[in-house]
Amino acid sequence: MGLIAQLLERRSPVLHIVSPHQTVAEAVAIMAARKIGAVPVVQDGRLVGIFSERDVVRRVVCLNRAPDKTEIGEVMTPDPITASPSDQRALAVHKMDAVGCRHLPVLQHGALVDMLSIRDLLFGELEERSDDVESMRRYIGGSY
């Protein structure tokens, strides 16, 4: 499946961070405008949490909290699991499956460098496998 670093090399970082002191309404506006399902929560340059669509539903809407008055720090998922660019992508998928999440912050030397979704990881795998299949077809067909 390869390293996360290989996936990151083929794309621009996708980072739209929020502060724990911003409101849910502000974070949701960012997520909607950027068409993303989660944002990392950073304070003083350090990842302190992640705020996702699931958090909106489970910790805001279901509890009748006011999105324009509720701070992200009150409803985020604190201390999320993370990955490193040197991690195998299969390990990242395993980590996400183990805790039931769909978004994974990527840290390098403690600094947030990107955010991956399960979709990023699985589409990367499908893309690589389709290249392998095409190479095999060319080889078998004698056009290598």
- Residue ranges of the domains in the chain? 4-140
pLDDT tens per residue, the chain (144 residues)? 689 998 888 888 778 999 999 999 999 999 999 999 999 999 999 999 999 999 999 999 999 999 999 999 999 999 999 999 999 998 999 999 999 999 999 999 999 999 999 888 886 565 665 566 566 567 667 665
Fold observed for domain 4-140: CBS-domain (3.10.580)
Q: Which residues pair with 42 in a beta bridge?
A: 47
pLDDT at 134: 65
**pTM, rounded to two decimals:** 0.83
How many CA within 13 A on the CB side of residue 50? 22
